[in-house]
Amino acid sequence: MPYRHRVLGLLFLLSMVTYLDRVCIAVAGPEMQKDLGLSPSQWGWVVGIFALSYALFEIPSGAL
């Protein structure tokens, strides 16, 4: 199996993991917000930091 196919398969697998992670936080978000007693503004900070961490870690993973 050519190396590029293995890399493509790994990239596809990683994209599915990140997709599942985003779906999980979207589904669990309202329950987390209620359990932790977060206001909509505070939840916005949580989601913003979550998105920022994705953006920051995409750069090194893209370089690899």
pLDDT digits (tens, 9 = 90+) for 6-56: 999 998 998 898 888 888 888 998 999 999 999 999 999 988 898 888 778
Helix and strand totals (H; E) in the chain: 2, 0
Closest CA to 32 of 47, 15, 20: 47
Q: What is the pTM of this model?
A: 0.58
